[in-house]
Amino acid sequence: MSANQGTKRAEGLTIVVPVFNEAAGLAVLHHKLVALASRLRDQRGLATEIVYVDDGSRDETFAIARNLPAEGVDVQAISFSRNFGKEAALLAGLDHARMNAILFMDGDGQHPPELAEKLIALWQDEHYDVVYTAKAHRENEPATRRLFARVFYRVLNFNVRQEIPEDAGDFRLLSPRAADALRQLPERNRFFKGLSSWIGFKQIRVPYEPAPRAYGASSWNLRALLGLSIEGLTAFSAAPLRIASILGVLLSATAFLFGSWILFETIVLGRGVPGYPSVMVAIMVIGGVQLLVLGVMGEYIAKILSELKRRPSYFVAESELREANKASKPVSREAAE
On whether residue 97 sits in a domain, the answer given is: yes
164: left (phi over 0), alpha (psi -120 to 50) or beta: beta
On whether residue 56 sits in a domain, the answer given is: yes
Q: 271: domain range?
A: 239-309
pLDDT digits (tens, 9 = 90+) for 216-262: 555 555 666 666 666 666 666 666 777 777 777 777 777 777 777 77
H helices of the chain, in order, are: 26-44, 61-65, 86-96, 113-124, 143-156, 176-183, 192-198, 222-236, 239-264, 275-309
| Confidence at residue 252, expressed as pLDDT on a 0 to 100 scale | 72
Domain co-membership, 247 together with 130: no
At residue 184 the predicted structure's pLDDT band, cuts being 50, 70 and 90, is: confident
Domain co-membership, 296 together with 331: no
Packed helices 239-264 and 222-236: angle between N→C axes, nearest 10 degrees = 90
Domain co-membership, 196 together with 319: yes
Domain co-membership, 22 together with 157: yes
| Confidence at residue 334, expressed as pLDDT on a 0 to 100 scale | 46
With a cut of 60, say whether residue 323 has pLDDT above it: yes
Average pLDDT over residues 118-124: 89
Q: Which residues pair with 205 in a beta bridge?
A: 132
Domain co-membership, 332 together with 300: no
| Whole-number percent of the chain with pLDDT over 70 | 74
H helices of 109-175, in order, are: 113-124, 143-156
Q: Greater confidence, 256 or 3?
A: 256
Q: What's 91's domain CATH number?
A: 3.90.550.10
User: Among the listed ranges 115-119, 279-283, 305-309, which one has the minimum average pLDDT value?
Assistant: 279-283
Overall number of domains in the chain: 2
With a cut of 90, say whether residue 102 has pLDDT above it: yes
Domain co-membership, 101 together with 31: yes
| Confidence at residue 260, expressed as pLDDT on a 0 to 100 scale | 74
Domain co-membership, 20 together with 135: yes
* b/e burial code for range 156-193 (CB count within 10 A of at least 16 → b): bbeeeeeebeeebbbbbbbbbebbebbbeeeebbbbbb
- DSSP per-residue codes, 220-240: --HHHHHHHHHHHHHHH--HH
Q: Greater confidence, 163 or 79?
A: 79
On whether residue 231 sits in a domain, the answer given is: no
Packed helices 275-309 and 239-264: angle between N→C axes, nearest 10 degrees = 160
Ranked by mean pLDDT, the top range of 59-73, 128-142, 208-222, 223-237 is 59-73
Q: For residue 76, what are the CA distances in angstroms to 117, 192, 274?
A: 21, 22, 73
Q: How far is residue 207's CA from residue 168's CA, in Å, rounded to a whole number?
A: 9
Domain co-membership, 208 together with 251: no
Q: How far is residue 143's CA from residue 75's CA, in Å, rounded to a whole number?
A: 41
Q: What's the pTM?
A: 0.72
